Amino acid sequence: MQFPSPVSIQWLAEFVEAKLIGNTQSNASGINEIHKVEKGDIVFVDHPKYYDKCINSLADFILINKEVDCPTGKALLIVANPFEAYCKIVNHFRPFTPSTTTISNSAKIGEGSFIYPNSFIGNNVVIGKNCIIYPNVSILDYCVLGDNVIIQSSTVIGSDAFYYNTKKDRSFWYKRMPSCGIVLIEDNVEIGSGCTIDRGVSHNTIIGAGTKFDNQIHIGHDTVVGKNCLFATGVIVAGVVTIEDGVTIWGGVIVNKTLTIGENAVLLGRTGVSSSIMGNKTYWGTPAQEASIVKRELIWIKRIPQIWEKVMGK
């Protein structure tokens, strides 16, 4: 999430009651979690296992629970609980704002777009030109749709990320990380009925131009779907996945988190993707393998009884 304007790091340190060391005279431009961090961002870390990754990331400002060596040009904000400090900053700059109308007064809707009755359009939503939003669709705060987008009934755009702090050092186990990212849907996208697309935790979930979704598809937080992709019904994609241009995913496919599917790949029905796969190939099975290899293996498995008979001399 980018701040409305750069914010003094000294003010932020006072706001979260942090000890500030390093570059104390600079300004922060935004706040992100580690998967999507950018130059000028604040990021948090509360486990020694990830200290080096965060300190040496693109982030210029690190919320951390221990004083460590600070790289030149960066700043450390040392607090007892970096996660709580992160949440405090997010909730300050992106507070919960109730909406009491079906279409928020702050929403911007382009010329020629039509919204059917019983759909909800949240605060600061932007909808481009010539879009059609069918009944019972929810487009939640800050999400952005391009031109010529079609969204079928009962789809939800911009629900909160399924993203929790799982440290078991408090009276309850899991605390939700506030979602301050958005969903960005580019031009000429079609989304079927009953789909759910989660907003980014702190950045964007993106559906690329020309991509078409069937019904009942789920896209996790911070996932980027490329241009001109085709998804059949029942596809489940976890968070922080990169799906490159021209990918075709058939029904019932499940894609694990933080991986990449190369351009023009084809995933046949019921495939399970557990690690990154190359583009321009067809995949099948769980875990996903090249379909031609899997089919040859199945043929050999069917021949096992014949081979066994020959070995046993029958």
The last residue of a domain, from among 93, 128, 158:
93
Domain span including residue 8: 2-93
**Residue 306 included in any domain:** no
- Mean of the per-residue pLDDT values of the chain: 94
Catalytic residue among 35, 203, 218, 221: 221
Check: CB of residue 182 under 8 Å from CB of residue 205.
Answer: yes
- 176-220 confidence digits (pLDDT tens): 899 999 999 999 999 999 999 999 999 999 999 999 999 999 999
Same domain, 177 and 258: yes
pLDDT-derived band at 71 (thresholds 50, 70, 90) equals very high
Query: Of all residues in the chain, what percent carry a pLDDT higher than 90?
Result: 86
Same domain, 74 and 128: no
Specify the CATH number for the domain of residue 244.
2.160.10.10
- 218-234 confidence digits (pLDDT tens): 999 999 999 999 999 99
- Count of alpha carbons within 13 angstroms of residue 144, beta-carbon side: 14
Q: What is the structure's pLDDT at 170?
A: 53
pLDDT-derived band at 175 (thresholds 50, 70, 90) equals confident
Annotation marks residue 47 as catalytic: no
CB within 8 Å of 65: residues ≥ 6 apart: 45, 46, 78, 79, 80, 81, 82
- 89-145 confidence digits (pLDDT tens): 999 999 999 999 999 999 999 999 999 999 999 999 999 999 999 999 999 999 999
**Residue 64 included in any domain:** yes
Can you say how many angstroms the Cα of residue 248 is from the centroid of all Cα atoms in its chain? 19
Same domain, 76 and 133: no
